[in-house]
């Protein structure tokens, strides 16, 4: 598996850094409809994550205590962390 998983949701590109994620689950707590743990205990996108509101995605990514969730706007500018 790759070191990164990336998906574009609601105009935001969200990248999960699989090397940084240690499975605290804060993102899942905030947006359980977007994120889940994979078999290795690393956060990953749910299949139907496209249905999550933009603000909840941003909140979930901001809550990551190890900055394993990076968010880029439509212009490619990093907005989180």
Q: What is the mean pLDDT of each run of 10 residues along the chain (81 residues)?
A: 90 96 97 96 92 92 98 96 94
CB 64 within 8 A of CB 79: no
User: CATH code at 38?
Assistant: 3.30.70.20
- Measured CA angle at 35 (ends 81, 52), to 5 deg: 85
Query: What pLDDT is recorded for position 52?
Result: 85
Query: What pLDDT is recorded for position 51?
Result: 81
Any idea which residue has 């205590």 for tokens?
A: 65
Considering its fold, how many domains does the chain have in total?
Answer: 1
Query: What pLDDT is recorded for position 1?
Result: 65
Q: Which residues of 8-34 are buried (b: 16+ CB within 10 A; e: fewer)?
A: ebeebbbbbbbeebeeebbbbebbeeb
Q: Which domain holds residue 38?
A: 4-80
Nearby residues of 29 by Cβ (< 8 Å), 6 or more positions away: 63
């Amino acid at each position: 598996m790759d070191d990164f998983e990336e998906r574009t949701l609601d105009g935001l590109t969200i990248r999960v850094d699989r090397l940084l994620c240690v499975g605290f689950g804060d993102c899942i707590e905030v947006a359980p409809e977007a994120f889940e743990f994979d078999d290795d205990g690393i956060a990953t996108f749910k299949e139907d994550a496209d249905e999550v509101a933009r603000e909840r995605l941003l909140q979930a990514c901001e809550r990551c205590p190890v900055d394993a969730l990076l968010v880029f706007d439509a212009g490619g500018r990093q907005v989180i962390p």
